[in-house]
Structure formats: structure tokens, C-alpha cells
């Protein structure tokens, strides 16, 4: 699994940081998303999927997700 973010689309909601704080943070200057962990380990993949699904601005993309683990 690989996570990517589009900070131009991010509307600084903070949802992803709430859902997966090991993977996402927010900029201290403008609140936009900061990607901490682009290749999350197995235990963080469900939170990563949830963060992508719940992002109100569709700013999070997941690729190479084999579906298990």
C-alpha cells in the first residue's frame, strides 16, 4: 500500500489526523495535510483506508492496496 496526498485539494479538516495520526499530520502554518508515512505497515492499513474514504475533499489516494492486511 502506498498513500499519497494532494495538499492543493486539502481543506484542512483534520479528519485524517484524527483517524490515523501515525500517518497524517497537519501543517502548523496553514493546516493542510502532511504525510508522515507514505507506506504504512499492515497494522495501519485499515486506518489509512478509512482516512482516505472519509476525507471530505478527496485529497488522499491509496494505490497498490492488495486488499488484505
Contact between residue 64 and residue 2 where contact means Cβ atoms under 8 Å apart: yes
Kindly tell me which residue out of 1, 20, 44, 55 binds ligand SF4, with binding defined by CB under 6 A. 55
Q: Are 3 and 62 in contact (CB under 8 A)?
A: yes
Smallest gap from Cβ 38 to ligand SF4, in A, equals: 13
Among candidate residues 68, 19, 25, the one with its CA nearest the CA of residue 47: 19
Q: Rule CB under 6 A: is residue 38 a binding residue for ligand SF4?
A: no
Stretch that binds ligand SF4, among 12-20, 39-47, 61-69 (CB under 6 A): 12-20
Residues at the interface with ligand SF4 (CB under 6 A): 5, 10-16, 24, 26, 33, 55-57, 59-60
Amino acid at each position: 500500500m502506498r498513500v499519497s496526498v494532494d495538499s492543493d485539494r486539502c481543506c484542512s479538516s483534520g479528519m485524517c489526523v484524527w483517524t490515523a495520526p501515525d500517518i497524517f499530520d497537519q501543517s502548523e502554518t496553514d493546516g493542510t495535510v502532511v504525510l508522515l508515512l507514505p507506506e504504512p505497515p499492515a497494522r495501519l492499513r485499515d486506518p489509512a483506508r478509512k482516512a482516505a474514504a472519509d476525507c471530505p475533499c478527496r485529497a488522499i489516494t491509496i494505490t497498490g492496496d492488495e486488499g488484505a492486511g
